[in-house]
Chain A
């Protein structure tokens, strides 16, 4: 055989990298497989009919959808300003917006409790209006918004900033106002990033645990979302915990694939940059 001789050192490097990659894949995939293979489909379907599962599912869907809506509503203007403007204190806003990403969720929940709890600064005012956040579904939504918002703003801002100057200039010479340009040029051109951000935020809200349990508690049907139910059922009925986990896994996976990777080619041809050159 006259095969090409690969130098020993290169061979070692290659196999080293291969082994590391293998370890990473095992670390990521093995737990997922364990959840999926833990129970038979029949048990799974049976457990999905458990009231605790259905309650948690319903609550999680409603709360995370509401939270995602609020995230986009609050995050989009912020992302736009951060992408297009310079203003005093911009750095402070940037840090503040990114903070929840690195903050331990329990600390975030505790901080929320201190601010919006009965005795808290804003809680006082809210109470006066008859609104109470801790240990309510609304509190779940607030905790999820707090934790999820950076996951939207970051890609949204990058997407909006990447819309080429020439398109914005063209819009303004075509007498479009800033608002018209935003909705008809910037938004559609950065849609893939915006949807990716929305998906990330939604997934984050869906999986939120620490801030929710600290701020909103663990009341079945009121504040017990799916991740909380998984934790409770682990000590209670393992099969129900598995069923909830499988459900969460499927939902997160669908969100990730559906919103993050699909939209690129969905709205216009990916190569349609409009370049003449």
Chain B
């Protein structure tokens, strides 16, 4: 198990993080560039020094500011695959993978054997005699991973391991990576800026914003109960923070947010709540509807954005109060004649909203 409490200040940037990851599990760290993800990895790796805190891995203390203990990177059982892989250009693939073994004094032939095995596990054994410069991005990625895994690290740090790859390769390697990691008993911290990748990868996802982890949970947690605008935008849901201002006998409540009021199913309890509205629950009309939707807002269309993969669904940003993002089909866009600036009416039922504290 990895337990880390870290604080560091550099220039105007402050990082303050607390982490706990079970052995054999993967924590996906997701956040914008500049949010401190790589800094956090470097602190865990021992390539940078925290101002204060503690890093413990499976009962072994790697860093303790109180006790003045700092294990250098070379003394930690870790694998660190950086964004650019940093394969040694003067060594062959096999020598690259054997590097860590040789550095620890393992014999040449045994190291070679183990390096071959590690390369074979990643399906790139035939690359052994080649130089890094002759490899494609995907091949370099696998070699870098083989080089890290051959040392059987207890902590595996992966910094945007797929970002340098084309989309096709990315999907293949992601699946492979997941398969490999499930067979390992090490703690993995996987950094990405892509929510999609986080979702695809993580059982446990931590969201990082300007040096802090603002939410940590399962992907369902994050999808259903985002706790910041940033996370919500990541997950593509409308999020509002507000307080319940009135309740009625039918179990409904009114929530007042900074931007406007919403009707929700009364969650009971305290007044401060988050309200998440799934964009697919929002219906759009040219004339005010007469149905049973309890929430009705009017405003102009501000942006139309076809969703991947094929634009079958379109995200429609609305200049309503509160501002909403709806997701409708391409057919609906055509039928309604949606375009930027067109005044529309957005409706969604109270039951289509998730309200939580």
- Measured between beta carbons, the chain B residues less than 8 angstroms from A177 are 74, 103
A176 at the B interface (CB under 8 A): yes
- Measured between beta carbons, the chain A residues less than 8 angstroms from B45 are 169, 173
B89 touches A171 (CB 8 A): no
A175 touches B100 (CB 8 A): yes
B89 touches A189 (CB 8 A): yes
B74 touches A274 (CB 8 A): no
> Given A170-B82, A272-B90, A276-B85, are A176 and B99 also a contact pair (CB < 8 Å)?
yes
- Measured between beta carbons, the chain B residues less than 8 angstroms from A28 are none
Known A188-B90, A274-B140; further 16 A-B contacts with Cβ < 8 A: A164-B86, A166-B82, A166-B84, A167-B86, A172-B74, A173-B78, A173-B79, A174-B99, A174-B100, A176-B100, A272-B90, A273-B89, A273-B133, A274-B84, A274-B85, A276-B85
Expressed in whole angstroms, the Cα–Cα distance for A217 and B337 within the complex equals 99
A272 touches B132 (CB 8 A): yes
- Measured between beta carbons, the chain B residues less than 8 angstroms from A274 are 84-89, 132-133, 140
Chain B contacts with A in 67-109, Cβ cutoff 8 A: 72-76, 78-80, 82, 84-90, 99-100, 102-104
- Measured between beta carbons, the chain B residues less than 8 angstroms from A268 are 89-90, 131, 133
- Measured between beta carbons, the chain B residues less than 8 angstroms from A170 are 80, 82, 86-88
26 contacts between A and B (CB under 8 A): A166-B82, A167-B88, A169-B47, A170-B87, A171-B99, A171-B103, A172-B72, A172-B74, A173-B80, A173-B148, A174-B74, A175-B103, A176-B99, A184-B103, A268-B133, A271-B133, A272-B89, A272-B90, A272-B131, A272-B133, A274-B84, A274-B87, A274-B133, A276-B84, A276-B141, A277-B84
Expressed in whole angstroms, the Cα–Cα distance for A271 and B73 within the complex equals 29
Q: Which 10 A-B pairs have the closest CB atoms?
A: A272-B133, A174-B100, A176-B103, A272-B89, A173-B80, A274-B89, A170-B86, A172-B73, A166-B86, A276-B164
Expressed in whole angstroms, the Cα–Cα distance for A171 and B80 within the complex equals 10
Expressed in whole angstroms, the Cα–Cα distance for A173 and B148 within the complex equals 9
B86 touches A269 (CB 8 A): no
B119 at the A interface (CB under 8 A): no
- Measured between beta carbons, the chain A residues less than 8 angstroms from B99 are 171, 174, 176, 184
B37 at the A interface (CB under 8 A): no
Pick the residue among A169, A175, A180, A188 that contacts B86 (CB under 8 A). A169
B73 touches A173 (CB 8 A): yes
Chain A's closest residue to B139 (CB) is A276
A129 at the B interface (CB under 8 A): no
Expressed in whole angstroms, the Cα–Cα distance for A271 and B134 within the complex equals 10
Chain A contacts with B in 231-277, Cβ cutoff 8 A: 267-269, 271-277
Chain A: interface size category: 20 to 34
> Given A184-B103, A272-B131, A274-B132, are A175 and B74 also a contact pair (CB < 8 Å)?
yes
Expressed in whole angstroms, the Cα–Cα distance for A271 and B90 within the complex equals 11
Expressed in whole angstroms, the Cα–Cα distance for A171 and B91 within the complex equals 13
Expressed in whole angstroms, the Cα–Cα distance for A172 and B74 within the complex equals 5
A172 touches B133 (CB 8 A): no
B80 touches A267 (CB 8 A): no
Chain B's closest residue to A180 (CB) is B103
- Measured between beta carbons, the chain A residues less than 8 angstroms from B319 are none
Expressed in whole angstroms, the Cα–Cα distance for A169 and B132 within the complex equals 17
B131 touches A269 (CB 8 A): yes
Expressed in whole angstroms, the Cα–Cα distance for A166 and B45 within the complex equals 13
B267 at the A interface (CB under 8 A): no
A275 touches B131 (CB 8 A): no
B137 at the A interface (CB under 8 A): yes
Chain A's closest residue to B157 (CB) is A173
A174 touches B147 (CB 8 A): yes
Expressed in whole angstroms, the Cα–Cα distance for A276 and B87 within the complex equals 9
Chain B 150-179, CB-CB to A under 8 Å as 1, else 0, gives 010000000000001000000000000000
**Nearest chain A CB to B6 CB, angstrom units:** 18
A185 at the B interface (CB under 8 A): yes
Expressed in whole angstroms, the Cα–Cα distance for A87 and B214 within the complex equals 41
**Nearest chain B CB to A185 CB, angstrom units:** 6
Expressed in whole angstroms, the Cα–Cα distance for A177 and B140 within the complex equals 24
**Nearest chain B CB to A264 CB, angstrom units:** 13
- Measured between beta carbons, the chain B residues less than 8 angstroms from A277 are 84, 164
**Nearest chain A CB to B86 CB, angstrom units:** 4
**Nearest chain B CB to A181 CB, angstrom units:** 8
Give the most central of A170, A173, A272: most B CB within 10 Å: A173
Chain A contacts with B in 157-201, Cβ cutoff 8 A: 164, 166-167, 169-177, 180-181, 184-185, 188-189
**Nearest chain B CB to A44 CB, angstrom units:** 43
A276 touches B133 (CB 8 A): no
Chain A 69-97, CB-CB to B under 8 Å as 1, else 0, gives 00000000000000000000000000000
Expressed in whole angstroms, the Cα–Cα distance for A173 and B133 within the complex equals 22
**Nearest chain B CB to A45 CB, angstrom units:** 43
- Measured between beta carbons, the chain B residues less than 8 angstroms from A184 are 99, 102-103
- Measured between beta carbons, the chain A residues less than 8 angstroms from B103 are 171, 174-177, 180-181, 184
Pick the residue among B88, B133, B147 that contacts A269 (CB under 8 A). B133
**Nearest chain A CB to B47 CB, angstrom units:** 5
Chain B's closest residue to A164 (CB) is B86
Chain A's closest residue to B75 (CB) is A175
> Given A173-B79, A174-B100, are A276 and B47 also a contact pair (CB < 8 Å)?
no
- Measured between beta carbons, the chain B residues less than 8 angstroms from A172 are 46-47, 72-74
**Nearest chain B CB to A167 CB, angstrom units:** 6
Expressed in whole angstroms, the Cα–Cα distance for A273 and B151 within the complex equals 24
- Measured between beta carbons, the chain A residues less than 8 angstroms from B104 are 175
- Measured between beta carbons, the chain A residues less than 8 angstroms from B84 are 166, 274-277
- Measured between beta carbons, the chain A residues less than 8 angstroms from B87 are 170, 274
- Measured between beta carbons, the chain A residues less than 8 angstroms from B75 are 175
